[in-house]
Amino acid sequence: MQLAVNVLVLTALYAMMAAGFVLIYRASRVFNLAHGDAMMLGGYVFFTCLVATGGNLWAAVPLALAAGFMIGVAVYIVGIRPLAGYPVVSIVMVTVAIGILLRSLATLIWSAQVRYPANLLPFKDTPFHIWGNAVISTLDIASIAAAAIFFIVLIVLFQRTALGVRMRAAAENPRLAANSGVNIHRVIALSWGLACFGATLGAVFYTTRVNLEPDSWLVGLRAFAPALIGGMTSLLGVLPGALIVALVEVLAAQYLDPIMVSSAPFIVLLAALWIRPWGLFGTREEVVRV
Amino acid sequence: MKSKDCFLIAAAMTSIASTAAAQEEYKIGVSAAITGPVASTYAPAYEGLKIYLDRLNERGGINGRKVTAIYLNNQAAPPRALADSKRLVDEEKVIAMVNISTSATYAPMIADAQRTKTPLIFLGSAVCPAGVYPPKPDPYLFCASFNMVGEDGKAMVHVLNELAGAKKAKLGLLAMDIPISRQGVDLIEKLAEQNGFQVVGKVAVPLTTADFTPFATRFKEAGSEWIAHWAPLTVGVAMFTSLTKLGWNGNYLAVASPTAEADTVTFAQSNFYVMPSYSFSVDNLPVFKEIADAAKKYQASYAADTVSVGWVGGMVIEAALKSCGWPCNSEKLRTSLESVNVDTQGLYGGPIDWSAGNHLRSKAHYKLYRWDAAQKRVVRVKDWIEIPVQ
């Protein structure tokens, strides 16, 4: 039973972080290699908000999420938008540069010192014993709930609102959408903002459960495996993708040599892409475009 | 005289003057993991060395000459370490190099040290390489760092024997998935089994672990009563947090990193033991006041208690350069290093006493600390435990 809980918690974490890869790819066909760095920066913003508010979680989390959203929008406006019309590979390389820049910025501002945001929280991460002698903690429950709410909001946004329809239209056929009066740049900026919002949400739970340092970006980058397995064009595909990666990691940690934890998701990724190169829920057409 | 000639003469004189000035100073090169993976383990030591040398220069330097240190950031990456060492020995012509970084950066720097016959000193948190051990150390390698794989392992098993008592506990072992950490844990496993411990789990967690709970579950389900780790302390902190969440109530023994004292305070768990080969600031040694003052004066970004291991490195360099006298070159400095005997003022349990047959030290010493819930502070559980260096 504990394994099931571990899988669920890790799925939630990966889903929050991986959603950003898909949101940005759908909107701008860019594989954002700075997404892990956005998660790391989101973590530092959250940490700073916690310090500034004296550990007030109810103030720090919304502030950090809003800042995360704004960072995403700013990165698009400053770093990506000027390259509109350039080959996608150039923009991907720019995301690499942005990632390095964000990492250096984080080290300059906060130093390489490891931070523990959990120690600033006004409560202890209380464990609860559930059935089958399994344990789940407050932060575990909160991370699952946050991931669920985040995805419900995204689905409602895309399926039920006019803005969502415009975003989908811009993702599927930017020229046609633009000719129909959709402000493409605004829609893509919103996607970058939402992606960084998700990355910051993931960072809130990762950093309160593990720690925060400039190299936390590597954890965020690992979330590209769930996105690829699920399909880069499918937001809902992120959920089964995250579940598969989490399941493989948890089983590898429990039953195999833990070294396999690093490589197992990528073995699964290779196998999944070999069988279905466009991902579980992606579309064949998109692969041709990549 | 034409203006062009005037310019050439001025340039030549400036060049001569700057060469003379360069020759009037001791020049050393430092390649450290100031940023990059596990920088938190190395950067405080780099800063400790830097503030020590800044203070030394402000007080007039050594033998009336400044110590100019060229600090380079290798980010724990071997190619960068290679570029650093080439620049330091071939371009900057330093008389000694210092490494404060991961073991992955050693090979290129060692090769350049041997090629150019330049001493290479491992300081701070750099794990002492095999080449510094007695009886026949590499002539150009020296180590004053606090991390020693073999001695750390022996000390950990010694402590486990004392704390676990007659009951030979079920032991879990934790490493980070890097070669040196796995090597350290393999040694602890061997020694622990020789001492009657039952090793019920051995885990090497990857550098990019999103959640430690699956590994903690493995330890808990294996019935580990003690868990020992030889890895950066951040790994231990994350693992212990997950174990606590799962309701594990065993004891945890961690080898130290520079931030160990601060982490122990942050943790505030009395079943989390830390075993450094240096003193924590709770021991209130007079030298900690000096370090704190220097850290404040030179605006160190790391807390005073984390930079002490770099401070020891500064003491060693000062002693070696003093002994080298003036003029000092690489070979003369190498000979001086082989007679270094530095009193670390209690920061280490004994002196850094290098000789022709031992470039590490004759004995390693360890203390044991943990959080005391009643006193609400870190307390020393055991004073210096002596482990002969072999």
A135: contact with B, CB 8 A cutoff: yes
- The pairs formed by A119-126 with CB atoms below 8 angstroms and a separation of 24 or more are A119/B266, A120/A47, A120/A50, A120/A51, A120/A55, A121/A50, A121/A55, A121/A57, A121/A208, A122/A55, A122/A56, A122/A57, A125/A208, A125/A209, A125/B241, A125/B245
Q: What percent of chain B has pLDDT over 90?
A: 69
* CB interface of A with B, residues 64-103, below 8 Å: 103
Which pLDDT belongs to residue B209? 87
**Structural domain boundaries in chain B:** 3-146+284-365, 149-279+367-388
Sign of the CA dihedral running A243, A245, A249, A251: positive
Residues pairing with B96 in the sheet: B28
pLDDT, chain B, mean:
90
Q: Which chain A residues contact residue B247 at CB under 8 A? A: 127, 129, 135
Three-state DSSP at B302 gives coil
- Residue B124 phi, psi dihedral angles, 5° rounding: 70, -115
Q: Which chain A residues contact residue B242 at CB under 8 A? A: 209
Instruction: Tell me which of A192-206, A213-227, B130-144, B333-347 is least confident.
Output: A213-227
Which pLDDT belongs to residue B17? 45
Say whether pLDDT at A253 is over 50: yes
Say whether pLDDT at B236 is over 60: yes
Three-state DSSP at B310 gives helix
CB A234 within 8 A of CB B59: no
Tens-digit pLDDT profile for residues A227-240: 999 888 888 999 99
Rounded Cα–Cα distance for residues B244 and A143 (Å): 18
Of residues A236 and A132, more confidence is placed in: A236
**Structural domain boundaries in chain A:** 2-125+132-216
User: Domain B3-146+284-365's class?
Assistant: alpha beta
CA atoms within 13 A on the CB side of B106: 19
Q: Give the list of residues 6+ apart from residue A58 with CB closer than 8 angstroms, or none.
A: none
- Mean pLDDT to the nearest integer, A146-152: 96
Considering only alpha carbons, which residue of chain B is nearest residue A126? B245
Task: Classify residue B322 by burial, with Cβ atoms within 10 Å: 0-12, 13-18, 19+.
Answer: middle
Interface pTM, i.e. ipTM:
0.82
Name the pTM for this structure. 0.83
Q: Which CATH number fits domain B149-279+367-388: 3.40.50.2300, 3.40.50.300, 1.10.357.10, 3.40.640.10?
A: 3.40.50.2300
- Mean pLDDT to the nearest integer, B208-236: 90
Tens-digit pLDDT profile for residues A1-42: 888 999 999 999 999 999 999 999 988 888 899 999 999 999
Could you list the beta-strand ranges (E) of chain A: 127-129, 135-137
Interfacial residues of B (vs A; Cβ cutoff 8 Å): 34-40, 43-44, 177, 203-215, 217-218, 221, 234, 237-238, 241-242, 245-247, 259, 263, 266, 301-302
Same fold across B3-146+284-365 and B149-279+367-388: yes
- Mean pLDDT to the nearest integer, B287-299: 93
Of residues B189 and B302, more confidence is placed in: B189
Of residues B375 and A131, more confidence is placed in: B375
Tens-digit pLDDT profile for residues B114-161: 999 999 999 988 899 999 999 999 999 999 999 888 899 999 999 999
Instruction: Name the residue among B286, B218, B281 with its Cα closest to residue B248.
Output: B218
Which pLDDT belongs to residue A284? 64
Q: In which element (H, E) is residue A266 found?
A: helix A260-275
Distance between first and last Cα of chain B: 70
